[in-house]
């Protein structure tokens, strides 16, 4: 084969491929746009709650079925134009009672996080790059529990799907979309989320590890609407498919618009949290 022939083959192939590629690119762009639109809508619907408090009971279960319980009080302050502020205070296990985390989450730059150790009275800044690690030995990573800002992912709409859940045994209409963490140190390559079309909340999320193998599935259930707008689940079950372990989060006593302010989310208030 001479050079001329190769070149012409390349030329012809490129002519043939260009419209296909363009089409694929457009479809890709559309899927990304639609995915983003769903995320933006979900975020919009959850805007304006100002603040909320709740109690969280974590049940850690290993493969043999042994359980271990943690109880945590949670306060969240909505920050417009940036990630939310949150404080979590441990009540159980007893040896870590009074231990508390303060997190200022951000859309683009790394979150700021402080840990308060009551025995030493020490407030320790956490190097927040490390968010893929497990939260208190549970199947939830820090990044799973962090405030979910739109900018933390790029998106791709995949399809519509009716899925059966405990609440909707006859099927709930969902958007299925992929989310790709923007954060380079995320423990995931991607997540697949099933977003309820009515409520714009996730019924189910699958997490794929750095090797792109299915790692965990999160199923949220018992959604209730607060103040006629904000949907919150009663239970979130995280199952790890690779280890057989699971963690059940039970949420209790949601209270919205309780009047929390910035001063409730400071290093001093972290030390006072009991």
Partner 1 sequence: MKRHGHSTHAATVLITSVLTTVAAGDMQAGEFSGYIGGQARVFFEDPLSPVQHNSYLSAVTEPEYTHQWDDGAQSFNAKLFYRVDQYDEQRTHGDIRELSWTGVYDNWELLAGISKVFWGVTETQHLVDIVNQTDLVENLDGEDKLGQPMIKASTEREWGTIDLFILPGFRERTFPGEEGRPRPNIVIDTEQDAIYDFSSGNDHIDLAARYFHYIDEWEFGLSFFSGTTREPTDFSPVGISAAGEAVVVPVYSLINQLGITSQAFFGDWTWKLEAINTEARSGVKKGINSVQAVAGFEYTLVGIADSNMDLGFVVEYHFSDKRIYENTIFDNDLATALRFVFNDVQSTEILAGLTTDADTQSIGSFIEASRRLGESWTLEAQVRTFHGTKENRPLYSFRFDNYAQLDLNYHF
Binds partner 1 (CB under 8 A): choice among 50, 134, 150, 256: 134
- Interaction between residue 253 and partner 1 (CB under 8 A): no
Shortest spacing between CB 83 and partner 1, in angstroms: 14
Block residue for tokens 């239970």: 235
- Interaction between residue 60 and partner 1 (CB under 8 A): yes
Shortest spacing between CB 84 and partner 1, in angstroms: 18
Pick from 166, 171, 236: nearest CA to 198? 171
Q: What is the DSSP letter of 265?
A: G
Whether residue 111 contacts residue 146, with contact meaning beta carbons closer than 8 Å, is answered with: yes
- Interaction between residue 237 and partner 1 (CB under 8 A): no
CA distances from 110 to 85, 128, 186, 192, 236 (A): 13, 7, 12, 23, 26
Q: What is the distance between the alpha carbons of residues 164 and 261, in angstroms, rounded to a whole number?
A: 40
Whether residue 51 contacts residue 78, with contact meaning beta carbons closer than 8 Å, is answered with: yes
- Interaction between residue 212 and partner 1 (CB under 8 A): no
- Interaction between residue 145 and partner 1 (CB under 8 A): no
Shortest spacing between CB 206 and partner 1, in angstroms: 20
Identify which of residues 43 and 91 has a Cβ nearer to partner 1 in the complex.
91
Number of residues that bind partner 1 (CB under 8 A): 36
- Interaction between residue 26 and partner 1 (CB under 8 A): no
Shortest spacing between CB 185 and partner 1, in angstroms: 8
CA angle 185, 190, 192 (to 5 degrees): 145
Report 64-123 residues binding partner 1 (CB under 8 A): 68-69, 92-98, 109-110, 112, 120-123
Shortest spacing between CB 209 and partner 1, in angstroms: 9
Pick from 216, 195, 214, 215: nearest CA to 204? 195
Beta bridge partners, 237, equal 219, 248
Shortest spacing between CB 265 and partner 1, in angstroms: 10
Identify which of residues 60 and 249 has a Cβ nearer to partner 1 in the complex.
60
CA angle 122, 82, 212 (to 5 degrees): 85
Query: In the structure encoding, which two tokens stand for residue 111, read together?
Result: 């979150």
Residue 142: what are its φ and ψ, rounded to 5°? Answer: -50, -40
Query: In the structure encoding, which two tokens stand for residue 133, read together?
Result: 């690690």
Identify which of residues 7 and 97 has a Cβ nearer to partner 1 in the complex.
97
- Interaction between residue 63 and partner 1 (CB under 8 A): no
The residues of the shown chain that bind partner 1, judged by CB under 8 A, are 60, 62, 68-69, 92-98, 109-110, 112, 120-123, 125, 127-130, 132-134, 136-137, 185, 187, 263, 266-268, 272, 274
């Amino acid at each position: 084969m001479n050079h001329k022939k190769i070149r012409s083959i390349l030329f012809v192939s490129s002519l043939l491929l260009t419209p296909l590629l363009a089409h694929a690119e457009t479809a890709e762009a559309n899927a990304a746009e639609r995915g983003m639109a769903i995320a933006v809508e979900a975020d919009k619907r959850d805007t304006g709650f100002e603040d909320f408090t709740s109690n969280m009971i974590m049940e850690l279960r290993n493969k043999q079925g042994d359980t271990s319980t943690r109880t945590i009080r949670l306060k969240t302050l909505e920050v417009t134009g940036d990630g939310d502020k949150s404080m979590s205070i441990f009540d159980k296990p007893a040896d870590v009672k009074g231990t508390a985390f303060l997190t200022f989450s951000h859309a683009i730059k790394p979150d700021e996080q402080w840990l308060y150790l009551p025995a030493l009275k020490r407030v320790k800044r956490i190097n927040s790059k490390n968010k893929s690690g497990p939260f208190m030995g549970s199947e939830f990573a820090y990044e799973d529990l962090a405030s979910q800002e739109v900018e933390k992912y790029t998106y791709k709409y995949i399809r519509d799907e009716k899925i059966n859940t405990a609440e909707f045994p006859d099927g709930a209409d969902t958007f299925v979309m992929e989310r790709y963490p923007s954060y380079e140190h995320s423990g995931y390559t991607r997540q697949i989320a099933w977003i309820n079309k009515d409520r714009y909340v996730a019924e189910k999320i699958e997490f794929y590890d750095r090797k792109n193998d299915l790692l965990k599935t999160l199923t949220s259930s018992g959604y209730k609407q607060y103040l006629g707008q904000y949907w919150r689940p009663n239970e979130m079950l995280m199952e790890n498919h690779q280890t057989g372990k699971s963690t059940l989060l039970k949420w209790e006593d949601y209270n919205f618009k309780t009047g929390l302010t910035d001063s409730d989310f400071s290093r001093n208030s972290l030390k006072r949290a009991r």
